[in-house]
A and B are shown apart, each in its own frame.
Chain A
Amino acid sequence: MDISYDTIQLQRRRFSWGPMALYIILGLGGVTMVLPFLWTLLTALKTFSEIMTNPYGLPRQWVWSNFIEVFRVVPFLLYFANTLKITAVCTIGTVATSAIAAYAFARLRFPGREVIFMCYLGTLMIPRQITLVPTFLLMKWLGLLDNHLSLILPGLFSAYGTFLLRQFFLTIPYELEEAAIVDGCGYVRRFVKIILPLAKPALATLGVIALIGNWNDFLHPLIFLNSEAKRTLTLGLAIFRGDVDIQWNLLMAATLLAILPMVAAFLLAQRFFVEGIALSGIKG
């Protein structure tokens, strides 16, 4: 009896469930992530009546023209262009203004530096919603409602970005700049030639966060934009749905088109995205 018990124990140890279970769980998780996208694609390829009659099967005919139909029904390219413009300007602006301010906070001495930075820190916790009403009033007063500037101007800078970059700049050894100072480099030169190249990971982090945040913003276009010509993708998609008799196949096609740019950017520049986000968690 003892021998058979030992044999069983031995057998159990040799066959380790480990890697197998690992892959199964990860695989299940992966399926959970991907399945909604696949399902959306399948639906987007059916005709409307087929959705009712054959909701769960593969499309009998692959109606790729649904995607074209979306472009016909709403000015999707316009929405895309609008979003691109706003996002590009805001992202570049945020990174630029945060970088130069962070450099000043990290390296240059000027009166009130610490106090001002403390103020920045203090506001990090403030939810953006507090600024909604006053910013809306400001834009109204400036006549910028329903104008892309109402989204761009506030989006040109970021207290969080300044904080993030300043923390990063502080970790760059000063000796590197000292050599440049001896050579007679001014502040701008030092910033551009030494700090910036070294700060690429942090700049990428901020860039990615700003990019995703701006591209996918819904609340602010909802509040500040009115006319169809100014709409962004998120807004356009939400309005596209309508309230009654939803054309699910077209809606799914539109949804896929809406996420396509960011997904494509992500797939092409994965390392950027993932490492950028990872860095923000470590430095944040």
Chain B
Amino acid sequence: MATKVTKRLEAVAGFLFIAPNLLGFIVFIAYPLIASLLISFTDWSLLTPPVGAGLRNYADLRIDTHFWISLRNTVVFTFTSVPLRIIIALFLAVLLNQKIRAIGFFRTVYFLPVVCSMVSIAMMWQWLLEYNTGLINYMLSWAGIERIRWLSSTQWAMASVVMVAVWSSTGYNMVIFLAALQGVPRELLEAARIDGANNWKTFWHVTFPCISPATYFVTVTSIIGSFQVFDVTTVLTAGGPGLATNTLVMLIYQNAFQNFRMGYASAIAYVLFGFIFVLTVQQNILSKKWMHY
């Protein structure tokens, strides 16, 4: 029964409804996206007008050791922390799903770090990991292990960062996995049990496929989030010692707001985007192979 007038009305209403959102989208996503690309083709220090530089920024990136170190750190961080986060979270979720009494209590406790800012978490852990008076080294001494320079040695700085990141975010993934586990159809589990499958087989062939959407979601968000790591490395180790824990986003920040090289920083940002894009697409392709109900 939609006459021309009502169709018109609907269109107008539609635009009105999306107007604030669309405005925000254009100003704060579309414009920066394009502007950033354009700026990456310039040399711009904000004090002087931008100077066109073609692809020079990208060429400079290829020979910039800071860039490669930061990239390596970011990749190492991502590919150590993400699997840990997922596996530990899944493990805990499976345990919690076993109809134990205090499920709410445990869920709260595990989720607690998630609501705290990374800055505060990093402060707490900086004290915990302190060489002389930190609790962690103290506990190591109970086991007769020598104290470790967690935050000031190049070998252990990244491990510390990964540890803190995993500690603070596992609860988040765990909650998602728990919800997914609770959605696995009872009949399937019972059918597997009747067919004689033991716990491990049931998990691997029934439960795990059923929660694959959640696994995919957790994996993708964890990877994207890890690639953008900034807070924990800035506050816990200040990117150090030296550049041992400097990350890509830190590099963007340093180039834009400390070295005032806007063009260069934008180029790094686009490279970061490129990595995330590739990884996400790859995950997408992989998931199509796994996802089945």
A residues sitting closer than 8 Å to B (CB atoms) are 19, 22-23, 25-26, 29-30, 32-37, 39-40, 43, 51-52, 55-56, 97-98, 100-101, 103-105, 108-111, 113, 116, 119-120, 123, 125-138, 153-154, 156-157, 159, 162, 187, 191, 212, 215-216, 218-219, 222-223, 233-234, 237-238, 241, 248, 251-252, 254-255, 258-259, 262-263, 265-267, 270, 273-274, 277-282, 284
Contacts and interface: CB of A to CB of B under 8 A. Distances in A.
A39 B227 CA distance: 30
Contacts of A127: 224, 227-228, 249, 269, 272-273, 276
Nearest to A43: B127
Chain A contact surface mostly: helix
12 contacts: A39-B127, A39-B128, A104-B18, A109-B11, A123-B29, A132-B32, A133-B265, A191-B17, A255-B124, A259-B117, A270-B104, A282-B214
Nearest to A249: B127
Contacts of B106: 26, 29-30
A130 B92 contact: no
Contact of B180 (A52, A156, A282): A282
Most chain-B Cβ atoms within 10 A of its Cβ — which of A35, A43, A126, A137? A126
B24 to A, nearest CB: 3
B252 A132 contact: yes
Given A32-B167, A97-B20, A187-B13, 19 more contacts: A26-B92, A26-B95, A30-B106, A108-B17, A110-B10, A129-B252, A130-B272, A132-B253, A134-B31, A136-B257, A159-B25, A187-B17, A216-B118, A218-B231, A262-B115, A266-B115, A270-B104, A274-B111, A278-B179
B123 A101 contact: no
Nearest to B112: A33
Contacts of A156: 20, 24
Contact size range, B: 35 or more
B258 to A, nearest CB: 11
Interface in B225-282: 227-228, 230-231, 234-235, 249, 252-253, 256-257, 262, 265-266, 269-270, 272-273, 276-277, 280
Given A19-B100, A241-B123, A273-B115, A100 B257 contact: no
